[in-house]
Structure 1
Amino acid sequence: MPYEWTIAPSGPDRLPRRVLSAWPHRSLPKAGFAAVILGAFLFITIPLLGVLGTKVLWGLLPFALLTIGALWWGIARSYKDGEVLEELEIDADTARLSRRSARSTPQVWDCNTYWLRPEIHPSGGPVPSYITLAGGSRVVELGAFLTEDERKRLYSELIAVLKDIKSTAPSP
């Protein structure tokens, strides 16, 4: 599953923090990347064996190498775009969502846990079962890269975690 909950210790007089880490699913592991490139290279070079030793080979070879290079670049770009990590830290006082991506600066959102309201939008968002967090003056998205079932499961877990944190929080 491309997200997990952990418990991070806090100070001696505070309750522990719950930390949600979410990242995009990888459908092609690094070993699969190498296999795809090798397979494409083999399938492209097999037809070139028939023109080995002729001038036609030199006319086709640049296009074959360009195809392999473009495939390599496209998959590597996909990996780079998928280097996203969202972390939601929740304790009795504050909730902090940070989003780190390889192509942008880190984004951070804070609010008081008491005012934190997670919402799920079955339709109308960029994806089905869209999760947003409201609190303070902004509304932010959470886990838009997850599958619909994962977002539904995450939403119910988030509600349970918030209920648990708010029930165990010391009263002022």
Structure 2
Amino acid sequence: MPYHWTDPDPDRRQLQLWPHNSLPPRGLAIFVLATFALLMVPLLSVLGSVLLWGLLPFILLAVGGVWYALGRSYRDRRILETLTLDETMARLTRRNPDGQELAWECNRYWATVEMHPHGGPVEHYVTLKGAGREVEIGAFLSEEEREALYLELLAAFRR
């Protein structure tokens, strides 16, 4: 699962969540290289002719487009959410892909964990409520992961 709990010290627990990336960076490089190689195979028949120079820019443009799109996908998924629970406070910070950091803090006693099975941006939407605000957590996780996260958060807030 793309989240894990850590216990930095006995009085504090920390949960880190991040989006799942199914293609590792090495796989990205292999995929782009394989795409380039497969697009070059038809050019073998026009090797040595002027037609090669007419087709080559379009093939390079296609490979560059694939590289850009996959790289953009990686950049857009650089999200990190960190929930810190100590004896009295709950603090959620979210670092967006552009580097902007958002924070929510609440007295742990008044904080509640809620799941909205329908009506949210995604099915089984998980939120934390307290200090007059309701904030989402793990919206980028799959539906099954959000359900498991909800149960883990309930147990963590009961401690």
TM interval, short-chain normalised: over 0.9
- Within the alignment, does 1:30 sit opposite 2:25 as a pair? yes
Distance 1:2 1:121 in 2: 21
> Partner of 2:6 in structure 1?
6
- Within the alignment, does 1:146 sit opposite 2:141 as a pair? yes
Letter in 2 for 1:140: V
Distance 2:45 2:102 in 1: 55
Shift of 1:73: 0.7
Correspondent of 1:96 among 91, 94, 110: 91
Could you list the runs of 5+ residues in structure 1 that have no partner in the other structure? 10-14, 165-172
TM-score, normalization by structure 2:
0.97
Percent of paired sites with the same residue? 50
Shift of 1:137: 1.6
Give me the CA root mean square deviation: 0.9
Shift of 1:29: 0.7
> Partner of 2:64 in structure 1?
69
> Partner of 2:15 in structure 1?
20
Structure 1 segments (4+ residues) deviating >6 Å: none
Distance 2:51 2:118 in 1: 55
TM-score, normalization by structure 1:
0.90
Letter in 1 for 2:6: T
Pairs aligned (count) = 159
Distance 1:18 1:153 in 2: 17
Letter in 1 for 2:97: A
Could you list the runs of 5+ residues in structure 2 that have no partner in the other structure? none
> Partner of 1:121 in structure 2?
116
Letter in 2 for 1:105: Q
Distance 1:129 1:107 in 2: 22
Letter in 1 for 2:111: L
Distance 2:62 2:55 in 1: 11
> Partner of 1:43 in structure 2?
38
Shift of 1:8: 1.9
Shift of 1:104: 4.0
Shift of 1:71: 0.7
Distance 1:130 1:29 in 2: 27
Distance 2:125 2:43 in 1: 49
